[in-house]
Amino acid sequence: AQSVAQPEDQVNVAEGNPLTVKCTYSVSGNPYLFWYVQYPNRGLQFLLKYITGDNLVKGSYGFEAEFNKSQTSFHLKKPSALVSDSALYFCAVSSLTGGGNKLTFGTGTQLKVEL
Amino acid sequence: DTAVSQTPKYLVTQMGNDKSIKCEQNLGHDTMYWYKQDSKKFLKIMFSYNNKELIINETVPNRFSPKSPDKAHLNLHINSLELGDSAVYFCASRQGNFNTGELFFGEGSRLTVL
């Protein structure tokens, strides 16, 4: 079975500071990893994904994430946080051997960026 | 020109009633999903259809019945609603039947059972 862990329920960051939202995963086989963002009362929006190739992937709104196979991690990062980045962030994983077409989500991390 | 649209956005109903939520995508995607998000924001997959064929059916009570009349539509019918069914239900779509594409989500349908 595949799973995702987001160890922090909430991350607080001052605007202008770098932010990191943590994610670790467990799958059999090669992982396909995703980050989504959810603003209040909205659907989830895709930010970025890792399928293969370069371990550092860049996505929307200046976000990036680094795939680390040895640590089974896929942490989301941004060099300089904005108040408008405040939202709920979900990490997700799937794989060819992970239940077919299923994308499994983590429990979400609430990011709060303060002035 | 919303990519994935769900109706209704809000639904308030009494226990025991039957209700439906409709979903349509205009992205030309082959695969559609229903996810349930509970009050703690946990997201759990319920069903997935690929070209009108059911391919994922998680452990969901059989009071929940998805129907896909064509690959652009995936509706969710719920019989005999219970308090625990209160949640936000998200429809999503993805191109193809592979695991590498990203999901496109609708805005959600908030169901409140009284």
CB B26 within 8 A of CB B1: yes
What pLDDT shows up at residue B56? 82
Of B56, B106, B107, the CB nearest to A102: B56
What pLDDT shows up at residue B98? 67
- Residue numbers in B near A103 (CB within 8 A): 45, 99, 103
Q: Which residues contact B44 (CB under 8 A, 6 or more apart)?
A: A105, B35, B36, B37, B38, B58
- Residue carrying the six token digits 């997201």: B43
Instruction: Tell me: pLDDT of A99 over 60.
Output: no
- Residues A26-34: what's their mean pLDDT? 91
The Cα–Cα gap between A16 and A82 comes to 6
What pLDDT shows up at residue A29? 86
What pLDDT shows up at residue A98? 58
Query: Chain B 51-80, CB below 8 Å of chain A: which residues?
Result: 55-56
Q: Which residues contact B52 (CB under 8 A, 6 or more apart)?
A: B68, B69, B70, B71
Q: Which residues contact B80 (CB under 8 A, 6 or more apart)?
A: B16, B17, B18, B63
| Contact status of B109 with chain A (Cβ, < 8 Å) | no
- Residues A60-88: what's their mean pLDDT? 97
Query: Min CA distance, B71 vs chain A (Å)?
Result: 16
Q: In a 3-state reduction of DSSP, which class is residue B36?
A: strand
The Cα–Cα gap between B43 and B12 comes to 21
| Contact status of B102 with chain A (Cβ, < 8 Å) | yes
The values of phi and psi at residue A60, to 5°, are -75, 155
In chain B, which residues have pLDDT < 70? 1, 96-98
The Cα–Cα gap between B51 and B69 comes to 10
- Residues A82-104: what's their mean pLDDT? 86
The Cα–Cα gap between B5 and B8 comes to 9
Q: Which of A35, A44, A110 to mutate to test the interface with B (most CBs of B within 10 A)?
A: A44
- Residue numbers in A near B97 (CB within 8 A): 101
What pLDDT shows up at residue B100? 83
What pLDDT shows up at residue B53? 87
